[in-house]
Amino acid sequence: MARTEQLEHEAVSPGPTRFALRRMTEADIPQVMDIERDSFPSMWPKTAYSRELKNKLARYFVLVEKGREEHDDAPAEGGLRKKLRRLLRAEGEAPPTRRLIIGAVGIWLMVDQAHVVTIAVREAFRRQGAAGLMLIATVELAMVEGMDSVTLEYRRSSEPARALYDRFGFLAVGARPQYYSDTKEDAIIMTTPPLRSKSFQEKFLRLKGQHERRWGETYGLPESYW
C-alpha cells in the first residue's frame, strides 16, 4: 500500500536549504517510524522496515540536513521511553542514528516499473522542497535501473500531492476504489510517460533545474547507492 499523501505544497519558499540523500539503514528506522506515524497516523499495518531493507526489489532512502551531525532539535526521549527502546531492540541491532532525518522514500522495482510505496517528510521541514527532491531521486533511480516508468498512488482528497506529481510530469491513469482502509477513500493512480522518451527527459531536466534554482540544491544519487 502506497503512503504518499502527506506532502508539502511548495507555495512559499522560506529560503534555500541543503539536504543530502543516502541509503536507509537499520539505525535510521526509529526516526523513520516517527515520521511515518506523524504523516500517516491512521495507517495500518505499519511498514516493516527491517524486512523491507532486506527486500532485493526495494530501495529505501533517507534525507538528512547537511551539516547537522546530531539529532539536536528533536524532542528528547524520556527515560522510560529510552529504556523501553533499548529493551525492545533486538540483539545486534544498530542503535538509532543521531543525525536528524528529514524525510524518507521507498521504491519497489517491479519488472519494468518503479513503484513509490512511501514518501514522507518531517512536519517541520515541509514546504522546503524535500518531497520534490525525493521525487527527483526516484525518477533518476528508475532511469539508472532501466525502468520504463514510475508509478504511485495518492488519496483523492490530497491536492498538495496531486500538485506535486502533476508538476513532475505524472499523469492520472486510474483509481483504486476505497483503497485506504481508514477512510475508505479512493486512491488515484499516477504514472510517468515513458522515461526514455525525449519529451519526458527534456521536461524532467527542466523541472529539476527549476527545483535547484528555487531551493539552492545541487543533487545527484548518493554515492552509497552503488
Mean pLDDT across 189-206: 94
Place 139 in a pLDDT band, splitting at 50, 70 and 90.
Answer: very high
Least confident window among 123-127, 144-148, 184-188, 219-223:
219-223
The cell numbers describing 41, all together, are: 497516523
pLDDT score recorded for residue 121:
92
- Beta strands 149-155 and 113-121 are parallel
- Please give the Cα distance from 16 to 152 (Å, whole number): 28
Q: What is the pTM of this model?
A: 0.75
Between residues 196 and 220, the one the model is more confident about: 196
Q: What is the side-by-side strand order in the sheet with 185-191?
A: 19-23, 58-65, 101-110, 113-121, 149-155, 185-191, 171-180
Which residues touch 104 (CB under 8 Å, ≥6 apart)?
A: 24, 28, 32, 35, 36, 60, 61, 62, 63, 118, 119, 120, 134
8-state DSSP, 186: E
Give per-residue pLDDT as tens, 85-110: 454 444 445 456 678 899 999 999 99
- Please give the Cα distance from 128 to 11 (Å, whole number): 9
Mean pLDDT across 3-31: 66
pLDDT score recorded for residue 194:
96
Q: List the beta strands (DSSP E) in the chain.
A: 19-23, 58-65, 101-110, 113-121, 149-155, 171-180, 185-191
Least confident window among 106-115, 154-163, 192-201:
154-163
Query: Of 100, 101, 13, nearest to 60 (Cα)?
Result: 101
- Please give the Cα distance from 143 to 156 (Å, whole number): 28
Cell 513532475 belongs to residue: 168
Between residues 19 and 164, the one the model is more confident about: 164
Question: In CATH, what is the architecture of 19-220?
Answer: 3-Layer(aba) Sandwich (3.40)
Cell 500538485 belongs to residue: 163
Q: Which of 165, 179, 180, 217 is catalytic?
A: 165
**What number of CA atoms fall less than 13 Å from residue 226's CA on the CB side?**
6
Q: Which of 5, 153, 180, 217 is catalytic?
A: 153
Residue 165 known to be catalytic: yes
Residue 69 has pLDDT above 80, yes or no: no
Q: What is the mean pLDDT of the chain?
A: 79
Residue 153 known to be catalytic: yes
pLDDT score recorded for residue 9:
40
